[in-house]
A and B are shown apart, each in its own frame.
Chain A
Amino acid sequence: MPNTPTTRTSLTLASTLETVDRVEHEAESFAARFGFNEDDVSSIAMAVREATVNAVIHGNAYSQDKQVTASFEATENELVFRISDQGTGFNEESIPDPLSPENILRGSGRGVFLMKAFMDEVHFRQLSPGTELTLIKHRTPEQHAA
């Protein structure tokens, strides 16, 4: 089987809301290149946006001294988005369930839930310092042809 080329792109940006918009837009464009339909592209872009929001706000706390790195990779079988910050770290277990009755009317706390709803895999990795979120969307055989 011939080697399938892997497409990669990476951005390192400041911890600002403009970065959130930029990364979301780049993810949307990236996903659209690989055969995903409009709804899937929108969902992927939203998941990446939520991860970037977390990096900017919760990870880096908008610090001018800390950056967000976003990398996008397309292989034969999947799209992989990695978003990392330079903050103090993050405990996935500490996220309250936004669907529980006591949390359903909270004004925040749905970002990770939406990432997991829209992507096939979501992984957290502690860096030193910071956190890296990996979001993976599997490609179907129809999308392989794209």
Chain B
Amino acid sequence: MSMKVSTRQVDGVTILDLSGRITLGEGSVTLRDAVRDLVAKGDKNILLNLGDVSYIDSSGIGELVSAFTSVKNSGGELKLLNLTKKVHDLLQITKLYTVFDVKDDETSAVGSFTR
């Protein structure tokens, strides 16, 4: 199952709803391009909804990290929402869980961005 991404705006926050697998190849490239486009447009508040991400490999983790870094370097914030157990455990193992701001509720996630 390839990765799909849809975009919506809630209270000044751009939410990317991701579904499928974020893996080497099409999945990771789709994520990379989506975030790159938002940064190019000047979006500063980006929330990645990973509730429907069934699988992520090390390349996908790398893309999450790269997305985080590029948004931060452009003066914005990137946060994660609704991690599945699998993704949560991977971020824990790789010591990235505390690097990201991880949320489990969309309303509070949207409200947490600095404006």
Contacts and interface: CB of A to CB of B under 8 A. Distances in A.
Interface of A: 17, 20, 42, 46, 49-50, 53, 57, 98-99, 104-111, 113-114, 117
B58 interface: yes
B5 interface: no
A107 B62 contact: yes
B3 interface: no
Given A50-B58, A99-B95, 13 more contacts: A46-B57, A49-B57, A53-B57, A53-B58, A99-B94, A104-B99, A105-B69, A106-B62, A107-B69, A108-B62, A109-B62, A111-B58, A114-B93
Contacts, number: 47
Interface string B73-115: 0000000000000100010011110010000000000000000
Interface residues of B, number: 20
A108 B66 CA distance: 9
A53 B24 contact: yes
A110 B24 contact: no
Contacts of B24: 17, 20, 53, 57
A53 B94 contact: no
A46 B65 CA distance: 19
Nearest to B62: A107
Contact of A105 (B57, B59, B99): B99
B42 to A, nearest CB: 23
A50 B93 CA distance: 15
B65 A106 contact: yes
B53 to A, nearest CB: 14
15 contacts: A49-B23, A50-B58, A53-B57, A99-B94, A104-B95, A106-B65, A107-B66, A108-B58, A108-B59, A108-B62, A110-B61, A110-B94, A111-B58, A113-B58, A113-B94
A53 B86 contact: no
A107 B61 CA distance: 8
What 10 A-B pairs have minimum CB-CB distances, sorted nearest first? A110-B58, A107-B66, A107-B62, A17-B25, A111-B58, A108-B62, A99-B95, A117-B93, A114-B58, A107-B65
Contacts of B63: 107
A105 B78 CA distance: 14
Nearest to A113: B94
Contacts of B90: 114
